[in-house]
Structure formats: C-alpha cells, structure tokens
Structure 1
Amino acid sequence: MRAHATGRRLIDPRGGSFWFDAGAVCLDFAHTGGEGPYAVFESLHEPSDLAGWLAAPPLAALLTVPATAADLSAARVLRQAIWETAHEQAAGRPLGDAAVTVLNRAAAGPPLVPELTGDGTTAGWAAPVLAGQALSTLAREMIGLLTGPLSARFRECAGDNCPLVFVDSSRPGARRWCAMERCGNRHKLRSLRARQRTLP
C-alpha cells in the first residue's frame, strides 16, 4: 500500500459532499456504495468506475488490463464483506462466517507487487496490474486491521443515524465522528441549541 494519506470525498445524493477518512484504504473502499438502503450511494456502476477508483491515490493501481463485469461483481461482494466485518468489529460482535469466507477467498489471490523505480526513491506496482490483485491487496489490508494493533479501534460514527465506520489511528484513540465538518459540527450545533433552551 502506498504511503499516502487515506480518505475520499463522499457525495450525498441529496446534495453536498464532504471529506471522509476511514483510516484505511480498504475501509475507504467499503464506502463506495452498498446494498439495500445504501444503494443510493453507489459509485461503482461500471467496470471503468472500479478501475478509476483503484487508480486514484493512495492505492494508485493503474490497471494494465481493463476491469471486467466479473471484476466489478467481485469488488462489490468484497466491499460488502469489508463493510459487514467493520461494523461487527466496531460493535464487538462475532464476525459473520460468510463475510470472513469472502475476505479469505479474495486475500488468497495474488496481490499487487511493489516495484522500486530506477532512482530508488519511489515505488509503483509491477505489471501486470490486475483488478483481482488490487482486490486481494484490499482484502489483506482488512485482515491485517482485524487482527493487528488497531483491531480494537474500529468505530461507527457517533452521529445520529450515521452508519459510516472507520478505524481510529489517532494517538489518543478518541475520534467519534466520521468528519468534524459533518456529524461533529451537527452535534456541536445541537448541543449549543440545547444549552440556549435551558438558559433563563
């Protein structure tokens, strides 16, 4: 995984957008859409959408072979497994067997292979760069999070009815909100109004 900051700008279908850093690329990927009520947030409509997401930093996996419909289907299945296990981990519930199976199956495939550039200062991905390799890399990252030192730092946003989930890598481990500009500010505004109502 490249050493760049994580995070993506999320678009609200009702209007507006905000920057959300889930703390890991695989968790950023989990917020590209979803099933059921989250289908309105879908951003991976075509294989080319998947290729574009993978090519963007920090993963920066520019595919050398175009993504296919099968790749897109596999990506959505993996995304759902990451979403489910992240929420289960945040809630302290046992991980679902089906989601764990999906993660393990994706991780078992060959991952992206880092390749040092000639000047020895930067790295890219060795060709061929395939969608399946990128998905394997994301699955491996999620497994590493679930079993590593941040395993107890999975959090669901404390905002009302906000399902966004992240891993808190801050030193104090006190992050509560998906983003201060969104749920954090809403909470502060509600608290201010509540205090004003109690003033004589």
Structure 2
Amino acid sequence: MRMNATGRVLHDPKGGSFRFDAGAVCLDFAYTGGEGRYAVFETLHEPTDLVEWLAQPPLDAVVTAPVTADDLVAARTLRQAIWAAARARAARRPLPAEAVAAVNRAAASPPLVPELTGSGTTIGWAAPVLASQALSTMAREMIELLSGPLAERFRECASETCPLVFVDSSRPGARRWCSMERCGNRHKVRALRARRTT
C-alpha cells in the first residue's frame, strides 16, 4: 500500500496508451471511464472490474467481500463527482453541489483501516476490506485535496485538446501537461516545426 505512488496507464479507444499521474489515487480513479462522450473510456463494466482496479497499486485494496452491482453504481457516482469537482476547481469555478454531496456521502462510510504486518515494516488493510471502505478512503482523499494546501494546484492539461485534470504536487508547482510523453512532447514537436518554418 503506497497511497503516494500514484498514476495509471490510460488507454485510448482508438489505440495507444500512456502513463498519466493525476497526483492522487482519487483522481486516478476519476479516469476509469465516464458519462456522455467519455463513455468510450469506460473500464468499470462489471463489479469484477472494480475489484481489479482497487487491488492494483498504490491502493492495494484486495476486497474480501463480494462486490455488488450497487457497489459499482456507487463507484461510478463517486468517480463522476470527483471528476466534476476536479474540473471545476481547475477552472476556478464553484464546485457543483451534486458533486460535493456525492463525495460527502461516500466519505461518510467507514474508510479502509491500515494495519501493520507481522514484520512491523509494512502495512496493509485490516480485514474485512469492503468496496465501500475503498470508496470512502478515496472520497476522504478528495476532501483533503479540495480543502488542503494543494487546493489551488488543480490544473487542466495545457493542451487545447486535452481535458485531463491533475493536482500538481511538485515543489515549484509548474506542471503544465497531463504527461510529457503525450501532450508535452506534442507541444515540443509543434514548437520545433513552427521555429523551423519561420
């Protein structure tokens, strides 16, 4: 369990993939799919998809009870709320009331409970590990981000065609791109071509 080692590989339905670090587990979770035009990116089709996502690092929450269709609905609701709140904060707009209510609802459930392993050097999650606990843990992380020292560090990728939002936890706070290998590199290539043209 390494809640500070964030980031996931995102896959484009048209092909290709890249590593995107949104800066927090809850924000990584926001990119597991979406509604409307973002439905093509959906990865949480079945409860088992949610089980697999939660079990991956950095959350490492291996659920010990069956995940239900209701858990999946709750996960998608929280995901949409995190996405909406992050975009609003990045655009310096008021947070949508629906998103705030959904995050608060998820955070009201008991969170995952950290547990020291027998070696005394590593930690895991105390059993039982429930999907609702993992969702609560991510909702609480989002609350901390929105109300803490990184509240003004929500950024949308500087590319005009990229809607990805991240929280910039770098010391200088100068991150501009969702990923240097994707939008940052494309910008460098365009700038180089423009210089050669002139």
CA deviation after TM superposition for structure 1 residue 2, in Å? 2.9
The aligned counterpart of 2:146 is: 146
The aligned counterpart of 1:18 is: 18
CA distance in 2, matches of 1:2, 1:112: 13
Task: Specify the SS of the correspondent of 2:159.
Answer: coil
Query: What CA RMSD, in Å, does the superposition of the two structures yield over aligned residues?
Result: 0.9
Q: Are the equivalent residues in 2 in contact too, given 1:108–1:136 (CA < 8 A)? A: yes
The aligned counterpart of 1:116 is: 116
The aligned counterpart of 2:83 is: 83
The aligned counterpart of 2:62 is: 62
CA distance in 2, matches of 1:187, 1:131: 40
**Which 4+ residue blocks in structure 1 deviate beyond 6 angstroms?**
none
CA distance in 1, matches of 2:41, 2:98: 23
CA distance in 1, matches of 2:3, 2:89: 25
CA distance in 1, matches of 2:196, 2:61: 51
Unaligned runs of 5+ in 2: none
CA deviation after TM superposition for structure 1 residue 157, in Å? 0.4
Cα 1:71–1:3 change in 2 (3 A) is closer
The Cα offsets for residues 11-59 of structure 1, whole Å up to 9 and x where unpaired, read as 0100010000000000000011100000000111110000000000000
Q: Which TM-score applies when normalising by structure 1?
A: 0.97
Equivalent position amino acid for 1:20 in 2: F
Q: Are the equivalent residues in 2 in contact too, given 1:6–1:28 (CA < 8 A)? A: yes
Q: Which TM-score applies when normalising by structure 2?
A: 0.98
Q: Are the equivalent residues in 1 in contact too, given 2:116–2:123 (CA < 8 A)? A: yes
**What fraction of aligned residue pairs are identical, expressed as a percent?**
75
The aligned counterpart of 1:180 is: 180
The aligned counterpart of 1:41 is: 41
Q: Are the equivalent residues in 1 in contact too, given 2:156–2:163 (CA < 8 A)? A: yes
1:126 paired to 2:126 = yes
CA distance in 2, matches of 1:108, 1:169: 26
CA deviation after TM superposition for structure 1 residue 3, in Å? 4.4
CA distance in 1, matches of 2:180, 2:44: 26
> Which deviates further from its counterpart, 152-161 or 137-146?
152-161
CA distance in 1, matches of 2:38, 2:59: 24
CA distance in 2, matches of 1:4, 1:194: 38
Task: Specify the SS of the correspondent of 1:124.
Answer: strand
Task: Specify the SS of the correspondent of 1:9.
Answer: strand
CA deviation after TM superposition for structure 1 residue 160, in Å? 2.2
Task: Specify the SS of the correspondent of 1:163.
Answer: coil
Q: Are the equivalent residues in 1 in contact too, given 2:3–2:25 (CA < 8 A)? A: no
Q: Are the equivalent residues in 2 in contact too, given 1:4–1:57 (CA < 8 A)? A: no
